[in-house]
Amino acid sequence: MANKSIDTIKYGLLRIIDVSGFTIFDPVVRLLFGEEPAKQTSKILKYIVIPTIFLFVCIWLWASIAPTHKTKSGQVPTPSQVIETVETNYRQYEREQEKKTAFLTTGSERDAQIKAAKERLKSLEEESKAAQSELTKVEESSLTEIENNLAPFKKEIEAIAAKLKTLTSSAKTEQTALADAIAAGTAKPETLIQAIADFETQKEALTEKRSELNKQLTEAREDPDALKAARLRANAVANEIQHTNSVIDHYEKKNREYQVNELMTKADAAAALASSSKDPKDILKAAKDQVRNTKKIEDVQEREYAPTSTVFWHQIKRSIFTVFVGFVIAAVIAIPIGMMCGLNRIAMACFTPIISIFKPVSPVVWLLIFQIIVGAFFPDPENHPLFVLSSTLPFIQDLGVNPAMVFSACTVAMCAVWPALVNTALAVSSIEQDHLNVARVLKLGFFDRLFKIIIPSSLPLVFAGLRISLGVGWMVLIAAEALSSSDGLGKFVWDEYQNGSSFSFANIIMACFIVGIIGFFLDRLMICLQRLVSFDEDGATV
Amino acid sequence: MSFLELKDVSIGFGPVSNRYEVLQNVNLSIKENEFVAVIGFSGSGKSTLMNLLAGLEKPDKGEVLLRGQPITGPGPELGMMFQNYSLLPWMSVYENIDLAVRSARPEIARSERKDYIMHYISMVKLDHAPDKKPHELSGGMRQRASLARTLCIRPEVLLLDEPLSALDALTRSDLQDEILRIWGEDKKTVVMITNDVDEAVLMTDRIVPLTMGPAATLDTPFEVNMARPRDRYTLNNNQEFIRLKTDITSYMMGLSQEKKKAAAAKVPMPDIAPKDFSLPSKRLGFKNLQAVSPASSSKA
């Protein structure tokens, strides 16, 4: 009995692996359950260990080649630098979250938090002091170290300069003497020419050596690692202090409750002033102020924290949402039209020219067209019902739906519609004649035929098409976001390319990996769906 | 009076320029509750004949009559059992039959439907597998399910299009007995297509040979006047069985010989076209390429 339940777990796990398409982990599961250990181990070695080693070799190649290539945006980032930028970006996200909670905290909790933050600030300041003094110490020591390092080079350079000087002067006297001799007829002109040539080669050798030494000198002048590390530490602490200050600010002056209270006291004071006054003008003014203040207070009470957009998770969420919207639009258009084309040859003939002409059009062109056409629907985006509505819906309100996002989604839809459409048409038109004959013999009505026979039998191919569509959509989205400045991974890459700070290049590489990993998981998701709807023994081909 | 009748039926396919006459002047008259086999070589138009009887195809000439009324299209009164099961692979056995019952026997109330379906499932001895999907069943079990689906709509005529040809010999004889048993319990007009003489003699009342195509037609039937039930174990010693089998086989072989002779009668002309030594032109190469390249289909 126990054996049986273990088997159930085992085959359940294997089935999950199979459906999700991670079949390379199949031997691991089998090994864990003790099935043919020798065979499984050899499989693991062949299909997991060796590929992993290969991956590490690739990373090692990257790490060793990257620093040798200098570009105008700095050197190509190494894997460790990319990991560092991931950490930096993630920290940015955490800090934004911290500020957000600070903005919303109320009451005694707020006071406690302020106290804690201030204490943290104090300790940070001490840390900073220590770091600064450490830095100055390291700076001094490294200054002398650098001087010491430079001294031999400087000496040598001076020696070469002196040599050059003596060489030049001696050559000059020699050459004038020779010239005189030639004029007197005691020497041949060739000797002078030879002497001049000799001098030139000597001089050249010396200058070359000098420039070589100068290069070494600049290299030696570079800060030692200890100094760099100390500087980084000091910077990090300073950064943290700045952040803590900002957090405190959000607990104090920028805090929502604080602002509301502030306004309320002001309003109360004004009201008190008005009630004590006897001047009707004052009373009128006070009443007006009252109304204005109430409105202001309401506004502040409803205000939300406005975070700066960060890759984690704001931009990633936004990109995924946009591609999802575009994909759904594409599927909603493609599947019915594809079915129509598959069922009816006239419909197919009608749509074929449209499909053939618009399918190869570049996403960039679609984006521009949508910006113009769809843009015309949003003359005043701030008050357009779509965006007003989207700012009240849960999940979506934080994403900041705007026209740029709509354009990107439309572009995604336009490019993703074709594979799904073509595949659906193919799926429907290639339904087995036998199944259709069954429908005829049973005299099924149109809807029974559609829902009992046509749709189920075409689903695997339709999902294969949808999978291609989602892949295309995700690729198109990144380009569309970059061009339409719709917040998301595409825009992140574009902005990084434009601003060119020292982290930009690493950020771009990071975005490349994020895009790839998300694309991979989207594809897996579609494979799972495709497998779940397919009815053959082995599932649809992956 | 004949129950099911084919009157001077002809059918062909293809455009006028390249017409292929499949059946020509086919006449057949079947009595009620008769079990008739149509026997013929593969490619002689047996399945086309069946599609005509099922109303899936319309004859070019002549008419197909059921109780004297022309058949206008397929319907539940003509129960067709297909050669390759044609079970819907995304539905279980039960669901497959359920679909048929719902659409062809809507008068059966929801509460009775389950019992009704289970009755047919147990009739074909699939009680243990009503929730299995077709791909989880063996060929024989699939054909049983298909039989149950055909029977459950209570057709007036049962059309069996080579129902057993895809099965192995043992499963085949098992299912033959099954079909005979069911037919014995619930008499029905049956038309079965087969290419197996033994099967035809064992099961049916009358065997109609189909001549070789193109333009095939039905020849004089062989009456099978053996008492039922027929026991397959003693049949090999039955004189009548041996005689019929020999007659039909020799008739069919005769057909085949005739066809070969007919083909041979066309005097083959010697190939006297001059050999072409010129270089193949680009145009020719392109043509060849087109002929070779398969139709592109983007199955992802």
Q: Give yes or no: residues A388 and A501 share one domain.
A: yes
Q: State whether B56 and A441 contact (CB < 8 Å).
A: yes
Share of chain B above pLDDT 90, in %: 8
Site from A441, A444, A523 to mutate, B interface, most B CB atoms within 10 angstroms: A441
Residue A382 counted as domain residue: yes
Q: State whether A444 and B299 contact (CB < 8 Å).
A: no
Residue A426 counted as domain residue: yes
User: Within A449-503, where are the H helices?
Assistant: 455-484, 489-499
Which tokens go with A516? 């790839």
Q: Give yes or no: residues A20 and A159 share one domain.
A: no
Q: State whether A437 and B84 contact (CB < 8 Å).
A: no
Structural domain count, chain A: 3
| Interface ipTM | 0.76
Q: State whether A437 and B103 contact (CB < 8 Å).
A: no
Chain B nearest-CA distance from A432, in A, is: 9
Question: CA B261 to CA B258: how far, in whole Å?
Answer: 5
Q: State whether B89 and A434 contact (CB < 8 Å).
A: no
Residue A249 counted as domain residue: no
Across B255-290, b (16+ Cβ under 10 Å) vs e yields beeeeeeeeeeeeeeeeeeeeeeeeeeeeeeeeeee
Which tokens go with B12? 């062909």
Q: State whether A457 and B78 contact (CB < 8 Å).
A: no
Query: Residue A335: exposed, middle, or buried by beta-carbon count in 10 A (0-12, 13-18, 19+)?
Result: buried
Partner-chain residue, chosen from B82, B100, B298, that has the shortest CB–CB distance to A437: B82
Helix (H, G, I), strand (E, B) or coil at B246: helix
For residue A448, which residues of chain B lie inside 8 Å, CB to CB?
Answer: 99, 103
Q: In the prediction, which pLDDT does A538 show? A: 46
Q: Give yes or no: residues A63 and A113 share one domain.
A: no
Q: Give yes or no: residues A205 and A319 share one domain.
A: no
For A136, A488, B152, the CA distances from A311, given in Å and listed in that order, are 36, 8, 62
Q: Give yes or no: residues A501 and A359 share one domain.
A: yes
User: Within A222-315, where are the H helices?
Assistant: 225-251, 256-276, 280-302
Domain boundary among A238, A255, A288: A238
Chain B nearest-CA distance from A21, in A, is: 16
Which residue is closest to A436 within chain B, CA to CA?
A: B86
Chain B nearest-CA distance from A537, in A, is: 6
In the chain, the amino acid numbered A186 is T
Q: Which residues contact A534 (CB under 8 A, 6 or more apart)?
A: A459, A460, A463, A540
Residue A322 counted as domain residue: yes
Q: What angle do CA A214, A218, A221 make, to 5 degrees?
A: 135
Domain boundary among A199, A220, A238: A238
Residue A286 counted as domain residue: no
Partner-chain residue, chosen from B76, B82, B299, that has the shortest CB–CB distance to A442: B76
Q: In the prediction, which pLDDT does A481 show? A: 93
In the chain, the amino acid numbered A202 is Q
Which residue is closest to B100 within chain A, CA to CA?
A: A442
Question: CA B189 to CA B204: how far, in whole Å?
Answer: 11
Q: Give yes or no: residues A342 and A445 share one domain.
A: yes
Chain B nearest-CA distance from A427, in A, is: 9
Q: Give yes or no: residues A404 and A506 share one domain.
A: yes
In the chain, the amino acid numbered A120 is R
Q: In the prediction, which pLDDT does B93 show? A: 92
Segment (H or E) for A426 = helix A403-429
Residue spans in chain B of domains classed CATH 3.40.50.300 = 27-77+157-269
B-side interface with A, Cβ within 8 Å?
54, 56, 73-76, 78-80, 82, 84, 86, 88-91, 99-100, 103-104, 133, 135, 153, 297-300
Residue A260 counted as domain residue: no
User: Within A36-106, where are the H helices?
Assistant: 37-44, 50-65, 79-104
Helix (H, G, I), strand (E, B) or coil at B26: strand
Which tokens go with B30? 């079947």
Question: CA A76 to CA B242: how far, in whole Å?
Answer: 90
For A80, A120, A229, A488, the CA distances from A236, given in Å and listed in that order, are 18, 15, 10, 27
For residue B54, which residues of chain A lie inside 8 Å, CB to CB?
Answer: 441
How many CA within 13 A on the CB side of residue A222? 7
Domain boundary among A210, A238, A266: A238
Interface size, chain A vs chain B, as Cβ–Cβ contacts under 8 Å: 73
Q: What is the pLDDT of residues B135-146, one digit of tens each?
A: 888 888 888 899
Instruction: List chain A pLDDT tens, one digit each, 542 residues.
Output: 567 788 888 888 888 888 887 888 888 988 888 888 899 999 999 999 999 999 999 999 999 998 888 777 778 888 998 998 899 889 888 888 888 888 888 878 888 888 888 888 899 889 889 888 888 888 888 888 888 888 888 888 888 889 889 988 988 888 888 888 888 888 888 888 888 898 899 889 988 988 888 888 877 777 777 888 888 888 888 888 888 888 888 888 888 888 888 888 888 887 777 777 777 787 788 778 788 888 888 888 887 777 777 777 888 999 999 999 999 999 999 999 999 999 999 999 999 999 999 999 999 999 999 999 998 988 888 888 888 888 888 778 778 888 899 999 999 999 999 999 999 999 999 988 888 888 888 888 888 889 989 999 999 899 999 999 999 999 999 999 999 988 899 999 999 888 877 788 889 999 999 999 999 999 999 988 888 887 765 443 33
What CATH number does residue A488 fall under?
1.10.3720.10
Site from B85, B138, B158, B298 to mutate, A interface, most A CB atoms within 10 angstroms: B298
Partner-chain residue, chosen from A437, A442, A459, that has the shortest CB–CB distance to B103: A442
Which residue is closest to B90 within chain A, CA to CA?
A: A535
Partner-chain residue, chosen from B84, B86, B300, that has the shortest CB–CB distance to A423: B300
Are A327 and A473 in contact by the 8 Å Cβ rule? The answer is yes
The domain of A372 spans 311-533
Superfamily of chain region B27-77+157-269:
P-loop containing nucleotide triphosphate hydrolases (3.40.50.300)
Residue A155 counted as domain residue: yes
Query: Residue A373: exposed, middle, or buried by beta-carbon count in 10 A (0-12, 13-18, 19+)?
Result: exposed
For residue A444, which residues of chain B lie inside 8 Å, CB to CB?
Answer: 99, 103
Which residue is closest to A459 within chain B, CA to CA?
A: B90
Segment (H or E) for B157 = strand B157-161
Question: CA A141 to CA A161: how far, in whole Å?
Answer: 30
Helix (H, G, I), strand (E, B) or coil at B208: strand
Q: Give yes or no: residues A64 and A115 share one domain.
A: no
Residue B24 φ/ψ, nearest 5 degrees: -140, 130
Site from A418, A442, A467 to mutate, B interface, most B CB atoms within 10 angstroms: A442
Q: Give yes or no: residues A494 and A409 share one domain.
A: yes
Which tokens go with A538? 């082995």
Residue A479 counted as domain residue: yes
Question: CA B61 to CA A139: how far, in whole Å?
Answer: 107
Q: Give yes or no: residues A334 and A449 share one domain.
A: yes
User: Within chain B, where are the H helices?
Assistant: 46-54, 93-104, 110-123, 139-152, 169-185, 197-203, 239-265, 282-292
Question: CA A427 to CA A454: how far, in whole Å?
Answer: 9
